[in-house]
Amino acid sequence: MYIFFSIFFLIAFFCFLVNHKRKKYIIKKVCSMPQPEKCQLLNELIQPFGYHYLPYQDIFFSTFDAWQREFGYTRSFDCLAPYFNMVFDSEPVYFDYDNRTWLIEFWKGQYGINSGAEIGIYCADSIIPPHQRSRELFHTITDDEVPIFSMDLNRSKNQTIQNIATITMPHWWLAAFRMGCFSQPKELFVDFCICFPNCSMMWAFANALLQLGYKRHSLQICGSRICFSYGIAATPASCGFFAKLACCFAQWKNRIFCRLYLFVTRPFSCTVDRLLYLYFYLPFIFRRCLRLRRCKKHKKKCKHQKHTHHKSPKKGEHL
């Protein structure tokens, strides 16, 4: 019996030493990589997820050709989100223009271990009656219909205001996330600006905002551009009692996972360093950190990316 425990202790101690040495080697490896090389590598790894890393803000934003574009949007996506650890406020704005019903929706909240916000534009093939809009599957728009989105995401906590992300670009779905940041949706507020292709479309959207309860003086309009602040949603959540319980449970898990992420990656303070450390040290956790949306095709892409980056490295290369 004593021999058995002695052997077990020696094996455990040997595994600890090997793991400790491997951990120190990975930390040294990440620290020795030039910053441009680290950003390039991280962007190659996260490209199948539909995101790009912005180093000077330490955030992720959605790419124009992200895989999410293939699936459109329906209201049920928001109702199912808490079951995938996504807890957010949402504001769908429906309006009719050019013989079609359009949808521009805003989101802000917690996406796993990420705090962030989103704005997306979708349309139907025809005019949809108001009572059917919440059940309709809206499609993503064509490239020539894409507006210019701008968002300035901030968090108000303990009487201090922290800027999380500021980004502007032509897009059909602009999303920005700060990893390792935990927030309640009510703590976040966003200043949105939209530059539409023409004034007629902008006024159709503005009138829809007014019908939701936004005040005329809260809208800043200049030509085909409209700006407003999004704090408290005018559209109440209507996903039921069990969804609210799921939100509470999801936020409990999100807070724990966020703390675990910061603890495990504590040798570093920058997201690119933290994620590359996880990629080399705990690759399965790396993939979980970036899985903000799920689908079969998405999983296949990630699996292919995994095999591509786990090939034997050439001499002198980091991978």
Other C-beta atoms lying within 10 Å of the C-beta of residue 133: 16
Kindly state the tokens that stand for 211: 């019908």
Please tell me the distance from the alpha carbon of residue 108 to that of residue 112, in angstroms, as a whole number. 13
Residue 20 has φ and ψ, to the nearest 5°, of: -65, -40
C-beta of residue 91 within 8 angstroms of C-beta of residue 105? yes
- Residue (of 264, 305, 293) closest to 112 by Cα position: 293
> Token match 């005019």: residue?
127
The angle at the Cα of 230, spanning 228 to 233, to the nearest 5 degrees, equals 130
Distance of alpha carbon 38 from alpha carbon 31, whole angstroms? 10
Residue 300 CB partners (closer than 8 Å, separation 6+): none
Other beta carbons less than 10 A from residue 53's beta carbon: 22
Q: What is the pLDDT along the chain (319 residues), one digit of tens a residue?
A: 556 555 655 565 555 555 668 888 899 999 999 999 999 999 999 998 899 999 999 999 999 998 888 888 988 888 889 989 999 999 999 999 999 999 999 999 999 999 999 999 999 999 999 999 988 999 999 999 999 999 999 999 888 899 999 999 999 999 999 999 999 999 999 999 999 999 999 999 999 999 999 999 999 999 999 999 999 888 776 667 778 899 999 999 999 999 999 999 988 999 999 999 999 988 888 887 776 554 444 444 444 444 444 444 443 333 3
pTM: 0.84
In 3D space, the residue among 224, 177, 176 whose CA is nearest the CA of residue 200 turns out to be: 224
> Is 164:171 a contact under the CB 8 Å cutoff?
no
End-to-end CA distance of the chain: 45
Is residue 156 within 8 A of residue 189, CB to CB? The reply is: yes
pLDDT at 190: 97
Contact 89, 185 (CB under 8 A): yes
Amino acid at 202: M
Structure letter (DSSP) for residue 145: G
